[in-house]
Structure 1
């Protein structure tokens, strides 16, 4: 079978290889993979950005993918050939709170990723997809969608008429926008690109802020909320945006820290965190139980992911990862294995 294998710590070293097709275990499923989607994490992995937790070479990258079951083990009863499924991002987090032991079980790092034509996994480590999804749509769920679901629903508990600030129009951010609207919250979307802001408006954003034109955007958030501040902020920027997020959030509100695109070491005034009872919540994807709850909600609402118009082919994954850092995409960057 074909795989894409990383042979050195650079996207240029992602090369097509041939490996033996895996076999289905009695409690497992054999999946013919059809699509994958990229996350910021994938750009870090190919440069060994997580140190020893990155994994070792040679490495099959990319955590998120979808495919069709072509064989089930003798004792598997809840899945069948023809089912469209996605492997869970963290293989060892079935439910309950996060623990440090979970991190080593992420696909596309210390465990082989989805850039392979066939995957054999225990049936308990994959999930059915929403019935109205195709494989490319389904491939967007395991990391980006689940991270947003955890931030907005599982940990965030966003409610009707809450105000949520979402930063940017990448995969996690647009899923957060959609889930917040699903919860009947009001959404303020930030971007430096008017074209991307318009995409956000089309997907339900109530207010749009161009943060390049308005670097002190917290003042506009305060104006929109009549001085109260936002109940919840989905923070993906990191060092350069966290201070503005702290100035924007309401007393008793939550900042879900998901990304650190602008750096790891912000200069912060921590006083408001204490005096305003602000919750700064780190979000690290989510559990299998959260994933299943998310799939059910997506199916009930017939929600569809936002996918960038440029879809890459199987052997173009290195190019896709190299381009990802330019942040020109809108929504999820996907890979079609049939191309």
Structure 2
């Protein structure tokens, strides 16, 4: 079989495709044929050597996958050959995941997993492997942001920043709940995709730098009930200004690079009676709940149309790093499967 390893952490050229034997599962393990993987920002950070924890050279990268169980150990009773599964990388004790950083990840054709009910989850039948590979990080983060202490509901206004994986899933989940969605991006082309997916209002934050004022105009001065902030310090002031009184600002990312003066933030938050919440994905219980929602809505994840295979995986990393994508970037591990 073929798999990638990172023998050093100096960028995407460090990805090395190797030939290794197909592993054999132990008594309490299963062997999964990996059909597709999707990339997240953490995968890029690992490859660049910027991960905040020590990394072991030779590790298999990437955390998010969907595949098919092709062999089970002699003591395994909770999974069967033919089960279609995703791997949960946010295992107990690893809030930000172990696969692809702490331990070998999933950029490989076959992967042995412990048959742990916290590790593997069956995904909805209507999804392809490519679609299911997008669930473990982006979808689960979006779900956690919208279905936290005060779940999104019909009639809410949800403001979503950006059009990458988490943002597009947030758009889809919010629409599924009957909410009105406002989405921002630096690109009119990306916003066109968001409109086709159902976004009722779009804002180009390059041509409209004071986008918080536009949100207030769209909502007749009320603001958004839920704001999904992915910029961190560079967007947080504007997010609070765009928030409705008593609304929520869900802190999902910190991708913004602009220097920011946050001295006004406490008073703004008080004046808006705003709740700010840091979002982490959560474990298998939340993953299972999300899959039930996806199944009931028959939701289909949006995948960027640029296609990648195992042979050009490094190009997928570069493409995502360039931030021209919309939705999720997926690598097709098995070229004859969807």
Query: Which TM-score tier does this pair reach, normalised by the shorter chain?
Result: over 0.9
Task: For 1:157 and 1:104, locate their aligned partners in 2 and report how far apart those are by CA, in whole Å.
Answer: 23
- 1:188, CA displacement in angstroms? 0.3
Task: For 1:102 and 1:166, locate their aligned partners in 2 and report how far apart those are by CA, in whole Å.
Answer: 27
Tell me what 2:179 maps to: 185
Tell me what 1:70 maps to: 70
- 1:19, CA displacement in angstroms? 2.9
Instruction: Pick from 191, 194, 212 the counterpart of residue 188 of structure 2.
Output: 194
| Structure 1 pair 139–201 and aligned structure 2 pair: CA distance change class (3 A) | same
Count of matched residue pairs: 330
For structure 2, the 5+ residue unaligned runs are none
Task: For 1:197 and 1:36, locate their aligned partners in 2 and report how far apart those are by CA, in whole Å.
Answer: 25
Instruction: Pick from 199, 223, 231 the counterpart of residue 229 of structure 1.
Output: 223
Tell me what 1:133 maps to: 127
* Aligned 8 A contact 1:238 1:264 in 2: no
- 1:245, CA displacement in angstroms? 0.6
Counterpart of 2:232 in 1: which secondary structure? coil
* Aligned 8 A contact 2:319 2:325 in 1: no
Task: For 1:195 and 1:51, locate their aligned partners in 2 and report how far apart those are by CA, in whole Å.
Answer: 34
Q: Structure 1 residue 117 and structure 2 residue 115: aligned?
A: no
For structure 1, the 5+ residue unaligned runs are 93-100
Tell me what 1:311 maps to: 307
Instruction: Pick from 248, 269, 274 the counterpart of residue 254 of structure 1.
Output: 248
Task: For 1:308 and 1:188, locate their aligned partners in 2 and report how far apart those are by CA, in whole Å.
Answer: 20
* Aligned 8 A contact 1:15 1:315 in 2: no
Q: Structure 1 residue 337 and structure 2 residue 295: aligned?
A: no
Task: For 2:259 and 2:26, locate their aligned partners in 1 and report how far apart those are by CA, in whole Å.
Answer: 46
* Alignment TM-score, normalising by the size of structure 1: 0.93
Task: For 1:80 and 1:153, locate their aligned partners in 2 and report how far apart those are by CA, in whole Å.
Answer: 31
Counterpart of 1:223 in 2: which secondary structure? helix
Task: For 1:70 and 1:61, locate their aligned partners in 2 and report how far apart those are by CA, in whole Å.
Answer: 22
Tell me what 1:19 maps to: 20
Task: For 2:277 and 2:257, locate their aligned partners in 1 and report how far apart those are by CA, in whole Å.
Answer: 17
* Aligned 8 A contact 1:4 1:315 in 2: no
| Structure 1 pair 104–182 and aligned structure 2 pair: CA distance change class (3 A) | closer
- 1:22, CA displacement in angstroms? 2.5
Tell me what 2:51 maps to: 50
Task: For 1:134 and 1:147, locate their aligned partners in 2 and report how far apart those are by CA, in whole Å.
Answer: 20
* Aligned 8 A contact 1:186 1:206 in 2: yes
Deviations 1:238-258 (A, max 9, x none): 232222111101122111111
What's the C-alpha RMSD, in Å, of the aligned pairs? Answer: 1.6
Deviates more, 1:171-180 or 1:25-34: 25-34
* Alignment TM-score, normalising by the size of structure 2: 0.93
Task: For 1:18 and 1:3, locate their aligned partners in 2 and report how far apart those are by CA, in whole Å.
Answer: 7
Task: For 1:328 and 1:204, locate their aligned partners in 2 and report how far apart those are by CA, in whole Å.
Answer: 20
| Structure 1 pair 157–29 and aligned structure 2 pair: CA distance change class (3 A) | same
- 1:207, CA displacement in angstroms? 0.9
Q: Structure 1 residue 239 and structure 2 residue 239: aligned?
A: no
Counterpart of 2:178 in 1: which secondary structure? coil
- 1:136, CA displacement in angstroms? 0.7
Deviations 1:72-114 (A, max 9, x none): 233333321111111102122xxxxxxxx32374211112111
